[in-house]
Structure formats: structure tokens, C-alpha cells
Amino acid sequence: MNPTFLQISDLEFSIGEASILNGISCQVPRGETVGIIGPNGSGKTTLFNCISGFNLPSRGRIIFDATDITAVSPHTRALHGLGRVFQNSGVFRELSVEENMLTALESRDSLIRKFFPARSHRAQRRQLAREFLSEINLDAKSSHKAGSLSGGQLRLLEIVRTLAFGAEVFLLDEPTAGVSPRMKEDVAGLIAKLQQRGKTILVIEHDINFIQKFCQRILVLDGGRVVMDGPPDTVRSDRRLQEIYFGNKTQSES
């Protein structure tokens, strides 16, 4: 097994007297893909907010690549390779598809230096932007406004922008929400490409059939706690999963 790349220890988060996260702990090795499921209000998005720096936990630690990032700003985490793709698209809709890619590349000078050791020119950035767009079959739409894309295409663009920015860990928050079945396959294909590049991926998703295709593990959250953690087949066949989502049928009928 690869060494731990992301470690979450005893994470707690509260709003007033309401506890949202209640001692969450997990370890994610480099290159692993982990699905995160659970009913609404179980703490999934809050967990991502804490990992990416948008919420400061009231207790616990977050270690990323052997560095304690618990109190580090979201911007600094992103520069160190922690990428977040939100439920609501962060794509600049008034810019063209290509300009969206260029903003990611221009914001990540170290990535440009990696591909072009000499001083990078805009033409070289444009070439790299088009290479990224070709990976998601959007190179033919490079001059179109991003706002003209479908919901699924916007998700693909946002994920590949995160890749261009230099992310090593991807936090994908419901990447297939509102996406057509055909585009779901395209999203799954892009995730497979990230896996081939050795990226570490955490995916919040309600569709267990979708994440079962590519996740090595599934975490089940309930009440701000990790209540199950295991291979997809094991988690899916566990009767506790149905009880978490639908309650105890026997009790409800008595």
C-alpha cells in the first residue's frame, strides 16, 4: 500500500451548539480513490470544507503530504496541490472555454515551468490549454463562452481546470449532480484519467452505482461520524447502509 497522503484525525466542527462533525478520522494513501456517501446532513460537504480550509475545525488535525494544514488558508492549500471542485460550478461563464483554462494555467506558474523550463509565453500556455481541452473533447468549443456549455461539460471543464492548476488531491463534491447519464460516463472517464496520473481522489456522491465503478473504498457518514469504511462491495451489501438511509424497517412497521 502507498504511504498515507491525507490524514484526518479526530476532526470536529460545530456551529453554535450544533455538532456537525463528531470525531472523524481516516487515512487516504497516495493514488487512492475514496467515495464518501451518507444521508443529507451527515457532514459530507462540511468535511470537504474543513479539508480545503473553508471551515476551521474546532478540534482535530489534517495532515497533507506530511504537513499539518489544519489552520492553513484555502489558497495556500491549493498551491500545495489540494484541489476542490464544488457542487456549484466555479467556471467563469462569461469567459471562453479556452480563457477559463488559461486563467488556471496562468495562476499556476510552477505548472508552466514544469512543462516549459524556459520562460513561458502565452502561446505556449494556449497550446497546453488546448491539450487539456482535448482530453475532455472540448477543444472544438475553445472559443465558445463557458456559459454555453451543458451542465456535464461545465463539470468536466472545472475538473480539468483543477488538474491544470496542479492538484494532486481532488475533492469532488457531487460531480454528477444534474448531469445526463451519457455525461456521467464522461465524468467517470475523466476520473479514470486522473487515476492513471496517480492522483488522489475523494468523491462525495449519492449514486453508489456510479462510485462503485472506480472507488477502492467507500466511507459512509452518518451524524458527523464515519460509521462504515470498506471496499464498495462490502459496504453495499451491509444491511446497516439501508438502515442509515431508510431507517430500521422492522421498527417503522411495529
pLDDT at 115: 55
Distances from the Cα of 95 to the Cα of 51, 74, 111, angstroms: 29, 24, 22
pLDDT at 114: 55
pLDDT at 222: 96
Any domain includes 159:
no
Question: Is 0.85 surpassed by the pTM of this model?
Answer: yes
Phi first, then psi, for residue 120 (nearest 5°) are -80, 140
DSSP 22-46: EEEEEEEETT-EEEEE--TTSSHHH
The CATH number of residue 14's host domain is 3.40.50.300
Count of structural domains, the chain: 2
What CA–CA distance (Å, rounded) separates 128 from 137? 14
Give 157's pLDDT tier (boundaries 50, 70, 90). very high
Distances from the Cα of 158 to the Cα of 18, 26, 122, 203, 246, angstroms: 33, 26, 21, 14, 33
CB atoms under 10 Å from CB of 166, counted, come to 20
Q: Are residues 108 and 138 in the same domain?
A: yes
What CA–CA distance (Å, rounded) separates 222 from 208? 16
Q: Are residues 75 and 96 in the same domain?
A: no
pLDDT at 120: 56
What CA–CA distance (Å, rounded) separates 76 from 170? 15
What tens digit of pLDDT does each residue of 175-228 get?
Answer: 999 889 999 999 999 999 999 999 999 999 988 889 999 999 999 999 999 999
Q: Angle at CA 15, nearest 5°, toward 11 and 16?
A: 125
Q: Are residues 98 and 84 in the same domain?
A: no
pLDDT at 1: 60
Q: Angle at CA 194, nearest 5°, toward 47 and 191?
A: 70
Q: Are residues 171 and 204 in the same domain?
A: yes
Any domain includes 228:
yes
Q: Are residues 170 and 249 in the same domain?
A: yes
Any domain includes 235:
yes
Any domain includes 249:
yes
| Greater model confidence, 157 or 3 | 157
Record the cell numbers describing residue 156, joined without a space: 468536466
Q: What is the largest CA-CA distance in the chain?
A: 73
* Mean pLDDT to the nearest integer, 21-47: 97
pLDDT at 245: 82
Q: Are residues 248 and 185 in the same domain?
A: yes
Q: Are residues 68 and 102 in the same domain?
A: no
* Residues linked to residue 35 through DSSP beta bridges, in sequence order: 203, 218
28: pLDDT strictly greater than 80: yes
* Mean pLDDT to the nearest integer, 47-55: 97
What CA–CA distance (Å, rounded) separates 154 from 209? 22
Give 117's pLDDT tier (boundaries 50, 70, 90). low
Q: Are residues 8 and 54 in the same domain?
A: yes
Any domain includes 73:
yes
251: pLDDT strictly greater than 50: no
Give 138's pLDDT tier (boundaries 50, 70, 90). very high
Question: At 87, is the secondary structure helix, strand, or coil?
Answer: coil
pLDDT at 250: 41
What CA–CA distance (Å, rounded) separates 93 from 247? 41
In which domain, by residue range, is 128 found? 92-148
230: pLDDT strictly greater than 80: yes
Residues of the chain with pLDDT > 70, as a percent, come to 91
Any domain includes 203:
yes
Q: Are residues 132 and 191 in the same domain?
A: no
Give 2's pLDDT tier (boundaries 50, 70, 90). confident
84: pLDDT strictly greater than 70: yes
CB atoms under 10 Å from CB of 182, counted, come to 8
How high is the mean pLDDT of the chain?
90
Side chain identity, residue 196: Q
Q: Are residues 100 and 199 in the same domain?
A: no
Give 252's pLDDT tier (boundaries 50, 70, 90). very low
Q: Are residues 144 and 195 in the same domain?
A: no
Question: At 80, is the secondary structure helix, strand, or coil?
Answer: coil
Q: Are residues 120 and 199 in the same domain?
A: no
Give 161's pLDDT tier (boundaries 50, 70, 90). very high
Any domain includes 157:
no
* Mean pLDDT to the nearest integer, 116-121: 56
pLDDT at 53: 97
Any domain includes 14:
yes
Q: Angle at CA 90, nearest 5°, toward 140 and 150?
A: 40
β-pair type (169-173, 82-85) = parallel
